[in-house]
Amino acid sequence: MLQRYSASQDMAADPSVPTGAGRSDRPIVAMRDVGKVFANGTIALSGMSLDVRPGEFVSLLGPSGCGKSTALRLVAGLGGASVGRIEWPTSSYTHAGEPEREISFVFQEPTLMPWATVFRNVWLPLRLKGVSRRAATERVMDALRMVGLEKFAEHYPRELSGGMKMRVSIARALVTRPKVMLMDEPFAALDEITRQKLNDDILRLWGDQGWTVIFVTHSVFEAVYLSSRIVVMAARPGRVIADLPNTLSYPRSGDVRTTADFAAASREVSEVLHQSMDVDAHR
């Protein structure tokens, strides 16, 4: 079941949050009245405000074109806000005044280098930081073990299935040992069985690694299955219209999808999502 979000909600008292996840009332990242206008005049975001706390699994859900991916890219620093600001209250800052974002980004497509082996694809973020292959080997293999691909280190992307390619992409994100994982519809193109298996893998890794996750999805069922919070965004310009903590307990397995509580939560989110498509008509 879901409940409306209260800023005073105490995560430390919330039994639905895995014990491996960090807990704090202080946001790890916060969007403050963020707006984004593209060069062609398109207003992607307007008044977007959102606090994400350490250890949360937050899904961004909304109609196509509502700015979910834009919001994620702004959090990642892949572009700047037109108005408003993005804060990292718990981060240190560089001499240039930029926050030290300890993040990884998993895109909609695996974006692997086809000419490179699985090992070299996963090594890439460390290599760009000047880490030699010898020094990186243990971390790369650890990341591959986490996604069940340690035996495929010397294979090429063309030799892998779609689900395996996405696992390589996740391993590449894991190898930097991030605090915040940003995921932009990573499983949308996969078949349902593979998608559900990767959902389970992400929940396991989230609990084990203590990540904070911001996850973009179009799927109500995926959002309900994965999330500790579901943020519903309005149609363009994107902004938060509902912030729904998910009280389904962790750990979760596929059996959860057949329960009455899961059905009720999915129905509630679906109703809010439907309302988001008409919200401008009632402003």
Tokens of 167: 């696992």
What mean pLDDT is predicted for residues 31-57?
A: 95
Degrees, nearest 5: CA angle 2-8-10: 75
Mean pLDDT (whole number) for 1-22:
46
Angle between helix 192-209 and helix 162-174 axes, rounded to 10 deg: 10
Predicted local confidence at residue 101, as pLDDT: 74
Residue 246 has pLDDT above 80, yes or no: yes
CA triple 175-51-56, angle to 5 deg: 45
The 10s digit of each residue's pLDDT in 127-154 is: 999 999 999 999 999 999 999 999 999 9
Q: What band does 121 get if pLDDT is binned at 50, 70 and 90?
A: very high
39-53, 182-196, 241-255, 269-283: least confident range: 269-283
Res. 203: pLDDT tops 90 = yes
Looking at residue 12, what is its pLDDT? Answer: 37
Nearest Cα to Cα of residue 31 among 101, 94, 89? 89
Cα–Cα dist 191/163, whole Å: 9
pLDDT at 21: 47
Confidence of residue 94 (pLDDT cuts 50, 70, 90): low
Among candidates 59, 67, 65, which has minimal Cα distance to 223?
59
HEC string of 132-201 equals: CHHHHHHHHHHHHHHCCCHHHCCCCHHHCCHHHHHHHHHHHHHCCCCCEEEEECCCCCCCHHHHHHHHHH
- At 93, is the pLDDT very low, low, confident or very high (cuts 50, 70, 90)? low
Q: Is the pLDDT of residue 90 over 90?
A: no
In this prediction, what percent of the chain has a pLDDT beyond 70? 86
Cβ contacts of 83 within 8 Å, gap of 6 or more: 33, 34, 35
For range 15-24, the mean pLDDT: 49
pLDDT tens figures, 37-46: 999 999 999 9
In the prediction, which pLDDT does 174 show? Answer: 94
66, 234 Cβ separation under 8 angstroms: yes
Q: Which residues pair with 242 in a beta bridge?
A: 232
Region 2-20: mean pLDDT is 45
Residue bearing the bigger pLDDT, 8 or 97: 97
